[in-house]
């Protein structure tokens, strides 16, 4: 550019705009929950463990369809004929595509192990999900009331929580089982349903307090915050404050507790069934482990099949729970 061109250019003719440069990309903020779920989507351990849990859930959900296609069921259809067992009841027939886990040792013909394994997964996950959801709901309601109330109401609820915490879980289960047998022992079908209801009640009665204490502590830390005080001043109803103002701010501890409670319930159900105080007349992994212990020396795979199922499911649930806890922890950066 010549000297003349430079002199003839004005201050506003330099080709630069006086207006600030605008970026077309909008900066969008993220809530803590969005950040947590974003972490989970990138967490390979969570994806793998959640996939394993989902696979078990699908097997349990479609257990009736799978066994129907294979021509077996846990009640005896497709069982090993009596003339194909030895004098001790051990099956003489090996595994096949139709019977991948073989047969249960039993005089007069054994059940198909794979059918009972599928229904055991269905029972374990069904009980765990039902108990966990119920205990979480009860714990949330009680914890919200105890934390938001003050004075004698909070003291009363806290006393009730402490009383339930003092109940010995195993002794309560051992005490309930004879009552169920005495009342419903004459009918196997009724006994199976009654034992299921009794197991659910024992697990729920001895499990809701932990969530209640967590929620109560969270409410204590939130109820004096500005947005809660503002809601009180403008006359927002208490129910709306509890469930629309406080509860959404406690998603993190609820999700973490939910994910960590599931494996504990799976283990508890299997342990009670193994001890003979759990489910009766309903296929269960713990029941199979109980039946298989006396056959271990001669037929070890009969025991390892349900044990490996319990172990893999519980490990996957624990790993998923750890990932959820880390994702929702604001102090963690992964």
What pLDDT does residue 11 have?
47
> In whole numbers, what is the pLDDT of the chain averaged over residues?
81
Arithmetic mean of pLDDT, 97-125 = 82
Q: Which of 28-42, 149-163, 229-243, 244-258 is least confident?
A: 28-42
Rounded to whole angstroms, what are the CA distances from 118 to 4, 58, 96, 151?
90, 10, 16, 51
Tokens found for residue 34: 């969005």
pLDDT value, residue 86: 66
Global confidence as pTM: 0.79
- pLDDT > 90 in the chain, percent: 17
Encode 108-145: b = buried (16+ Cβ within 10 Å), e = exposed. ebbbbbbbbbbbbbbbbbbbbeebbebbbebbbbbbbb
Contact predicate 198/180, CB 8 Å: yes
Band (174; pLDDT cuts 50, 70, 90): confident
> Left, alpha or beta for 271 (phi > 0: left; psi -120 to 50: alpha)?
alpha
- Percent of the chain at pLDDT above 70? 82
What is residue 4's predicted lDDT score, i.e. its pLDDT? 47
Task: Return the pLDDT at 9.
Answer: 47
pLDDT of 52 > 90? The answer is yes
Residue 15, pLDDT above cutoff 70: no
Residues 6+ apart with CB under 8 A from 18: 12
Asked whether the predicted pLDDT for residue 323 surpasses 50, the reply is yes
Query: Domain residues of the chain, as ranges?
Result: 71-111, 113-328
* Confidence label for 6 from pLDDT (cuts 50, 70 and 90): very low
The label of the residue with tokens 């090996």 reads 94
Residue 52 burial by Cβ neighbours in a 10 Å radius (0-12, 13-18, 19+) = middle
Q: Which two tokens stand for residue 80?
A: 């090993």
- Lowest-confidence region among 13-17, 76-80, 142-146: 13-17
pLDDT grade, residue 256 (50/70/90)? confident
- Which residues 6+ apart lie within 8 Å of 117 measured at CB? 101, 285, 288, 305, 306, 309
Mean pLDDT of 198-227: 88
Confidence at residue 295, expressed as pLDDT on a 0 to 100 scale: 85
With cut-offs at 50, 70 and 90, classify the pLDDT of residue 71: confident
Asked if the model's pLDDT at residue 241 lies above 90, the reply is no
In this model, does residue 113 exceed pLDDT 80?
yes
Reply yes or no on whether the pLDDT at 192 is more than 60: yes
Is the pLDDT at 47 greater than 90? The verdict is yes
Which CATH fold would you assign to the domain 113-328?
Answer: MetI-like fold (1.10.3720)
Q: Which of 17-26, 202-211, 260-269, 301-310 has the lowest mean pLDDT?
A: 17-26
- Tokens for 65? 């369809």
Residue 134 has pLDDT above 80, yes or no: yes
Higher pLDDT: 279 or 296? It is: 296
Give 91 or 141, the one with higher predicted confidence.
141
């Amino acid at each position: 550019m010549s000297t003349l061109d430079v002199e003839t250019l004005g201050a506003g003719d330099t080709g630069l705009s006086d207006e600030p440069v605008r970026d077309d990309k909008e900066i969008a903020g993220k809530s803590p929950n969005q950040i947590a779920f974003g972490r989970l989507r990138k967490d390979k351990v969570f994806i793998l463990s959640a996939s394993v849990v989902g696979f078990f859930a699908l097997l349990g959900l479609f257990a009736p369809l799978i066994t129907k296609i294979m021509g077996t069921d846990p009640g005896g259809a497709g069982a090993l004929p009596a003339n194909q067992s030895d004098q001790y009841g051990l099956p003489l027939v090996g595994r096949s595509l139709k019977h991948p886990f073989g047969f249960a040792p039993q005089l007069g013909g054994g059940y198909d192990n794979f059918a009972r394994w599928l229904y055991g997964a269905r029972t374990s996950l069904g009980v765990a999900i039902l108990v966990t959801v119920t205990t979480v709901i009860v714990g949330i309601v009680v914890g919200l009331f105890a934390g938001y109330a003050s004075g004698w109401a909070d003291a009363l609820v806290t006393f009730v929580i402490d009383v339930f915490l003092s109940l010995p879980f195993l002794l309560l289960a051992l005490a309930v089982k004879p009552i169920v047998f005495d009342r419903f022992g004459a009918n196997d079908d009724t006994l199976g349903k009654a034992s299921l209801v009794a197991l659910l009640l024992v697990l729920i009665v001895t499990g809701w307090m932990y969530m209640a204490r967590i929620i109560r502590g969270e409410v204590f830390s939130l109820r004096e915050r500005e947005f809660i005080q503002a809601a009180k001043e403008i006359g927002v109803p208490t129910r709306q404050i509890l469930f629309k103002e406080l509860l959404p701010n406690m998603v993190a501890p609820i999700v973490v507790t939910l994910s960590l409670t599931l494996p504990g319930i799976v283990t508890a159900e299997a342990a009670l069934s193994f001890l003979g105080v759990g489910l009766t007349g309903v296929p269960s992994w713990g029941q199979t482990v109980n039946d298989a212990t006396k056959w271990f020396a001669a037929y070890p795979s009969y025991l390892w099949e349900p044990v490996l199922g319990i172990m893999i499911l519980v490990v996957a649930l624990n790993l998923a729970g750890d990932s959820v806890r880390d994702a929702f922890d604001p102090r963690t950066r992964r």
